[in-house]
Amino acid sequence: MVSYKELGLVNTVELVKKAVKGGYAIPAYNFNNMEQLQAIVQACVETKSPVILQVSAGARKYANQTMLRYMAQGAVEYAKELGFNVPIVLHLDHGDSFELCKNCIETGFSSVMIDGSSLPYEENVALTKKVVEFAHSQKDYVTVEGELGVLAGVEDDVSAEHSHYTQPQEVQDFVKKTGVDSLAISIGTSHGRMKFKPEQCTKTADGVLIPPPLRFDILEEIEKRLPGFPIVLHGSSSVPIEYVKIIEKFGGKLSDSVGIPEEQLRKAAKSAVCKINIDSDGRLAMTAMIRKVFSEKPDEFDPRKYLGPARDELKKLYMHKNLEVLGSAGKA
């Protein structure tokens, strides 16, 4: 049994309280390797932003749970070494069982998500409550995120073909019965780089897809029913067209890519949305730079020579998010 406090991590209680009050969102960036983690820490130290490091079940399998624990601890020490001790959370993204959540809690995670959103309502309540009871009864309180409503798209082991929006009339009952610390909702975002079907979008003259707006009316309705309660947005990559173009220029094929426009995320961050999940944009940034190096320098075979530029681009991307989109810069 390892407590997150021994690793220098924090849970989300104080961070989300401050974020809801302050009208900004904390970045929740997914990682599964060293370069991603270095870029996240560098960007968050430089912008003085708190950060939630997210690991999906798939990432945990990929990186190994022991490696991850020490990487998170390494992130805390690295931030100090860079000169600013930003608050760092280690969070399980889309936990799908009590056992997985329990295991993460026992190996140093400070926060977990139990995603029962695909279950019938009462089963989602029961599973979420069970995780909350376990997490909250630890010597060091572990925070729990639940979910109502289903996001479409694919993310590691999580995939759903059809989405449905969160029903505002369920949220109060869910929060009261489960005791969750935050709630992920579905208002039109989805996982991956194709967030909408082309037929749901309009097109600019040069063929760039413009997605339909998020359902801010549902968000407002939820805020009315749960005043000041921390809300989470998954599936919030913007899928920058610049990266898609670089990837396609150097041999990739990513047709019909479309994300959530930044101004909509900015608007969401000013509301009760206090945690915004971003994974795909980082994947795109890395892939774009790696493809560019491979194509421009076909004789290059030192991983540092392509992972290095990918890491630098990631850092730029995360700094931009913290400064211009989420408003978390300067809030650490």
Position 155 contacts ligand 13P (CB under 6 A): yes
The answer to whether 277 and 238 have CB atoms below 8 angstroms apart is no
- The nearest distance, CB 331 to ligand 13P, in angstroms, is 21
Q: Shortest Cβ distance from residue 196 to ligand 13P (Å)?
A: 12
312 is catalytic: no
- Distance separating alpha carbons of residues 227 and 224, to the nearest angstrom: 6
The yes or no reply on residue 280 touching ligand 13P (CB under 6 A) is yes
Using alpha carbons, select from 317, 268, 233 the residue that is nearest to residue 24.
268
Which SS3 state, helix, strand or coil, does residue 278 take? strand
Catalytic residue among 93, 96, 115, 279: 93
- Residue 301 Cβ vs ligand 13P, minimum distance, rounded to whole Å: 30
For residue 30, state whether it binds ligand 13P (rule: CB under 6 A): yes
- 321 binding ligand 13P? (CB under 6 A): no
Please identify, using beta-carbon distances, which residue of 140 and 157 lies nearer to ligand 13P.
157
- Residue list 63-102, contact with ligand 13P (CB under 6 A): 93
Distance between CA atoms of residues 282 and 311, nearest Å? 10
Give the nearest distance from C-beta 211 to ligand 13P in angstroms: 12
Q: Which of 42, 257, 277, 328 binds ligand 13P (CB under 6 A)?
A: 277
146: buried, middle or exposed (CB in 10 Å: 19+, 13-18, 0-12)?
A: buried
Amino acid (one-letter) located at 194: M
Is position 279 an interface residue for ligand 13P (rule: CB under 6 A)? yes
Bridge partners of residue 182, in order along the sequence: 145
Secondary-structure breakdown of the chain: helix, strand, coil percentages, each rounded to the nearest 5: 50, 20, 35
328 belongs to the binding site for ligand 13P (CB under 6 A): no
Residues 212-241 interacting with ligand 13P (rule: CB under 6 A): 234-237
CA dist 79 and 87 (Å) reads: 9
- Judged by the rule CB under 6 A, the positions of this chain that interact with ligand 13P are 30, 93, 155, 191-192, 234-237, 277-281
